[in-house]
Structure formats: structure tokens, C-alpha cells
Structure 1
């Protein structure tokens, strides 16, 4: 496999990583993000992730394997995220604590970031499995799969609300926008790494493509269930109806945002 292919996949992962920093940009213009907007953004992020998992990864997986392979991938992806999160249950990422962390704390921080962000990088890497084949989007001499474009855009948009979530507590501590953007990007560092690892795996193990697509989809869907939606519900605790209607509206909007890419 050419080094240029791995470089391209790494760049795609880096784009999604840097998109997290965009979550700090609103704080150039406003001091606080309302609960309603916060809930809506978590809903949009959840809808984008579900849309990317189902309409992107799972639909693509059907081209390479049957329900057993796809189902096994879904279960393993979800189980890996569930087990990983259980091992670090109760630990919250705290940039201030990180700055003065001893080695055990640093290991925990890296673990939190990896569990949170790595599956999204895997999804990007897997989506590049058909890189170089006919029917892709031409770019700088590469034929990039439409699915890869879809996933890179989806994860990038999804990462913006996560950047906002990281920035809110930092803003209350008096941090400036550049520092908020840096810490937001830092939380997504595992994404380009995961993208390259996943791409190398699916290119070497072509017979496991259906499993690989299912694995990435299962990991992301489980993240929506155990992280994104609970985050949205927590942010809407003070709103009427606990913010459920806003969350659902955002979720639907997230799905609709990604639908046009299915027809590219």
C-alpha cells in the first residue's frame, strides 16, 4: 500500500479532528450557549452519527457480506466501546487537571479520549476501503470513495457540538478562545490515528470488509446511545419537557442534513 494513501487517510482524520476546534469559535461572539441551543446541537450530532452509521456504513457493508458478518461487526463494535467506557466509568476529562497531571492521570485522560474519539476515526478509515477504484470523487490524482467523503463530512459536523461542550466549562474558567479551540482539538487527536489503523486493516483483510463496516457502525451507534443522547438530556434538564422535543427536532435535522450526500 502506497504511503500517499495512508497520508490521505490521515489528512481526512485530521480534518475531522480540527473540526472539533470550530466549537470554540462561537465564543468570539457570545459569552454563553443557551441550554436550548446546546440540546439542539447534541440532537443534530446524534442524527448525523445515526445517519452516517446506517445510510453510510451499514448500507455499504451489504455489498461485501451478509447479515451474520455485519451483525457480528455491530455487536463487537458496540461491545468494545461499552467495555472500554465501563473501565473508565466516572472519570471526566478536565483540561485543568491534565495540565498538572501525574503519569497515572495522564494515562486515564488518554484512555478517555481514545474511547470517546477513536471509533469515529475508525469509521473514517474504513470508509476509504475502496480508495483508488473507479466511481470515486477525483481529487489530486486520487479516486476518493463517495462514502469516504460522506463520513468525513459527517464526523466533522458532528465534532462541532463536541467542541462546544469542551469549550463551555473552559469559558466559565476564563479561558480564551484559542485555548478552548486547542483543548477541543486535543480531545479528537485519536481520530487520524484510528483512521490510518482502520484503513490499513481493511486493505489487508478485504474479506472482513463487511465486519469492519459493521464494527465502525456499531461503535458509533453505541456512542450515540450512551453518550450523545444522555449529554443532550442532561443539557436540557432545566427546559420544559426536559428538552426532549428540542433534542428530537435536532436529531431529525441531523439526519436531514446528511441525506443529500446519499445522492451525490
Structure 2
């Protein structure tokens, strides 16, 4: 796989990596054909696992390289700090302008955010998952862009490791979206399509992220931290609260630790 990727320009490397993460989301969404429903314990554990992967990726694959990229400057922490805050603000702004709903709130009802809308609950839930797939795609893109620009701390295997880690957590994520939609009464085919389509933004934003870094190399440390800030915002605002909303807090926490450990191993071993 590494030999294949080395022959491609960085934006195509990022695109193909994003397609892989989308396919793994589709794999998770296909669980609607295998299971009638998924126990809440499993869903909460999967949500915790996804949060752990994203937290680890935010530091090991994004923030640390961002700081290393600026190590020769007087304030090596500044680009990382600015990019990190802007990433969180970016997702917050999307929350304002795009209607979406979070499941598993403490009162067991969907929590609707954004402007008033007549969209159905399933569409709002789909939009919520799509929103948090955007920073995942961006993270993949800037990682591959960093390799192309000669960042000393960036390697092709490291970028692939990030994509693999995000792809792994996309499997339960696809199931966590398609299964509740199936339970609401939609057909297996429609539920599957909701699940897989939520990750279509990942290859798009992966390619855009790589192009941005390659065209404007000086933005790399800011872009890395931006993707990290966006992912951390999603983790704290959505994944952790939802994973802890049931009576399975210990399982969700263990899932988070497992996801963090796997992503850390991937990044250190491949980076």
C-alpha cells in the first residue's frame, strides 16, 4: 500500500485515504443487515472508543507535529494555540448554521441544535454525525499534506496510521447511526444509506485539507492544530456526553481508554 500511495500527489493520497474511512463507515452501517438492534452497552462503549481514538489522534498526529513544525520560532506554541482555538470555533459556528440533533441525551430525547427546521429526526441525526466527520476528513488531509511539504515530523506511514485509526472508529460510528434509524421504522436499505452517507464528507475534506497545506505551506502548523481543535470540540460536546448518558459509564470510559491506546500505538509505531 505504501508503494501505491507514494506514486500519487498528496491530494489524491488524502482522497483515497478518505475513501477508505468512508468504506469502513459503510461497513459499520451494514450491521443493520446482521442485527435487529444493538444493546445500549455496546453503543455507549463504541461511542467511548470513538472519543478515545479522536483524542489520541488530536495530540499524537496533529498537535504534537504542529508544535514541532514551529520549533524554530520564538513562540513555538503560538500556531498550535491559535489553530486549536479556531478549530473549535469553526465547529461551533457550524452548530449555529446547520440544524442537527444529538441522540442519547439524559432525558432520552434528541437534543436539536441550529436554526429552526422542519427536517425529520433521522435527517437531523444524520447531519449531526456528518458534522463531526468533517474534522476527521480535515485531519487526514493535513496529515498527508504535511508529508508532501517535507515536515520533518510527518511520515507517510504516520498519515496512513491516522487514516486507519479514524477508519477503525468509523465502523462502530456507522452502526451507531444506522441502527437507531432502523429502530425508528425505516427500511434496512434506507438506514444503511443514512449511515454510509454520513462519512461522504471525509474524502472531500481530506482532499481539500491536503490541497490547502500544499498550496500554502506556512499554514501547516495552524492547519494541524485547527483539525485537532475541531475534533476535540466534537469529542467533548458530543461523543463523551452521549457515551456517558446511559448507565454504562464504566464501559464507556474503558472504551475511551481502549480507543486512545490503539490510536497511540498506531501513531507511535507507524509515525
TM-score (normalised: structure 2)? 0.78
Query: Is the contact between residue 56 and residue 151 of structure 1 (CA under 8 Å) also seen in structure 2?
Result: yes
- Is the partner of 2:68 in helix, strand or coil? coil
Query: Is the contact between residue 13 and residue 152 of structure 1 (CA under 8 Å) also seen in structure 2?
Result: yes
Asked if 1:47 is matched to 2:59, the reply is no
| 1:203-261 C-alpha deviation (Å, 9 max, x unpaired) | 12211211111000000011000111122123x2xx2xxx2111111111111112321
Mapped partners of 1:159, 1:145: distance in 2? 21
Asked if 1:192 is matched to 2:197, the reply is no
Query: Is the contact between residue 15 and residue 206 of structure 2 (CA under 8 Å) also seen in structure 1?
Result: yes
Asked if 1:13 is matched to 2:18, the reply is yes
Q: 1:250 to 1:111 in 2, by over 3 A?
A: closer
Query: Which consecutive residues of structure 1, in runs of 5 or more, have no partner in the other structure?
Result: 94-102, 137-142
Mapped partners of 1:92, 1:34: distance in 2? 18
Q: Which aligned segments of 4 or more residues in structure 1 are displaced greater than 6 angstroms?
A: 108-111, 133-136
Counterpart of 1:157 in structure 2 is 168
- Residue from 133, 136, 139 that aligns with 1:123: 139
Q: 1:4 to 1:191 in 2, by over 3 A?
A: same
TM-score (normalised: structure 1)? 0.80
Counterpart of 1:60 in structure 2 is 65
Query: Which consecutive residues of structure 2, in runs of 5 or more, have no partner in the other structure?
Result: 1-6, 71-75, 104-116
Mapped partners of 1:57, 1:90: distance in 2? 27
Q: CA RMSD in A?
A: 3.0
- Is the partner of 1:191 in helix, strand or coil? helix
Q: When the two structures are aligned, how many residues end up with a matched partner?
A: 240
Mapped partners of 1:210, 1:230: distance in 2? 29
Q: 1:184 to 1:114 in 2, by over 3 A?
A: closer
